[in-house]
């Protein structure tokens, strides 16, 4: 196939992307977010993809997007983004690329890369003031290799290597980014599309390092039916487990404060990864700890 033919390919329809197209799982919460973001950013976008679930989207020379795509190792997507951004800047400044044809550079990385092995490169990119958007699709485990525990795994969740439930706690990636004082940070979920759209539109108008941290409900990793993906996302917000917020100009503001908050066990009971907390006997102490952590977070928000 010629390069002209490749450039002329139509975008894949929404149903294909959201329904597990291009090798992804049906009901993928990360794909729901990515599809909405691409609709807003448009084809003048270069995705720099850290190895992970979304790697399955592209098989050279094909991707479901009209923009650019660059694969990197799991730890080096921000470094790849620097190279792409520098190349685009050189092309524009030399007149070889019209300013209106410039492209937005978007790192596309899972929580394994974002919270762990890629965090050093990310920190360095933020400190350099790299002009890029960092999209973390957070399915709270190493989803591409069987849902092993990651630094994003919440307390009590069963994973491939924590059969009795993870005894640790989820790292606060939003706070780590905000500590660098970037241009913008935001949390989103595909189940709240209006909130997501507003944040993407804001991020697109800014320059510098920008984080879009997306909760990505994962049917096989979290053990729920694909059709429940939106309900799971909404429960994450209404229980307060996933706060919707944004950081800009040194301040963090919550874009949705759930009132009244739904008890966390409503969220937990919908996912097989927490089934051991309810059967054969209910583990009240563990459930109470999870609820207490959520309560403490929101008490801090109100007090602040």
Query: Looking at residue 23, what is its pLDDT?
Result: 63
pLDDT tens digits, 240-265: 999 999 999 999 999 999 999 999 99
Query: Looking at residue 11, what is its pLDDT?
Result: 36
Give the predicted TM-score (pTM) of the model: 0.91
Query: Looking at residue 262, what is its pLDDT?
Result: 98
The answer to whether the beta carbons of residues 244 and 252 sit under 8 Å apart is no
Query: Looking at residue 19, what is its pLDDT?
Result: 34
Show the low-confidence residues of the chain (pLDDT under 70): 1-23, 304
Query: Looking at residue 65, what is its pLDDT?
Result: 87
Query: Looking at residue 32, what is its pLDDT?
Result: 93
Query: Looking at residue 6, what is its pLDDT?
Result: 29
Query: Looking at residue 228, what is its pLDDT?
Result: 97
Six token digits for residue 103: 């492209």
Domains parsed from the chain with CATH numbers:
3-303 (3.40.50.970)
Query: Looking at residue 17, what is its pLDDT?
Result: 32
pLDDT tens digits, 198-236: 999 999 999 999 999 999 999 999 999 999 999 999 999
């Amino acid at each position: 196939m010629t390069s002209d033919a490749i450039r002329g390919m139509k975008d894949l329809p929404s149903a294909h992307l959201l329904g597990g197209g291009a090798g992804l799982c049906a009901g993928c919460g990360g794909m729901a977010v990515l599809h909405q973001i691409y609709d807003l950013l448009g084809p003048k976008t270069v995705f720099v993809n850290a190895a992970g679930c979304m790697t399955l989207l592209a098989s050279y020379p094909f991707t479901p997007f009209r923009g650019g795509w660059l694969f990197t190792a799991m730890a080096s997507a921000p470094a790849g983004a620097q190279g792409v951004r520098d190349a685009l800047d050189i092309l524009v400044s030399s007149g070889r690329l019209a300013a209106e044809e410039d492209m937005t550079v978007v790192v596309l990385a899972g929580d394994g890369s974002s919270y762990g092995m890629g965090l050093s490169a990310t920190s360095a990119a933020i400190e350099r003031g790299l002009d890029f958007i960092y999209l973390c699709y957070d399915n709270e485990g190493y989803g591409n290799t069987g849902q092993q525990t990651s630094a994003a795994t919440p307390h009590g969740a069963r994973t491939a290597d924590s059969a009795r439930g993870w005894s640790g706690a989820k790292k606060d990636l939003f706070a780590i980014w905000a500590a660098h004082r970037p241009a913008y940070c935001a949390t989103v979920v595909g189940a709240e599309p209006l909130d997501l759209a507003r944040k993407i539109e804001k991020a697109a108008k800014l320059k510098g390092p920008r984080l879009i941290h997306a909760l990505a409900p994962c049917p096989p990793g979290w053990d729920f039916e694909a059709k429940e993906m939106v309900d799971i996302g909404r429960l994450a917000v209404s229980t307060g487990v996933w706060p919707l917020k944004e950081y800009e100009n040194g301040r963090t503001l919550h874009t949705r404060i759930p009132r009244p908050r739904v008890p966390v066990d409503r969220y937990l009971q919908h996912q097989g990864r927490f089934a051991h907390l309810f059967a054969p006997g209910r583990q009240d102490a563990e459930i109470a700890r999870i609820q207490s952590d959520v309560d403490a977070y929101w008490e801090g928000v109100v007090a602040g």
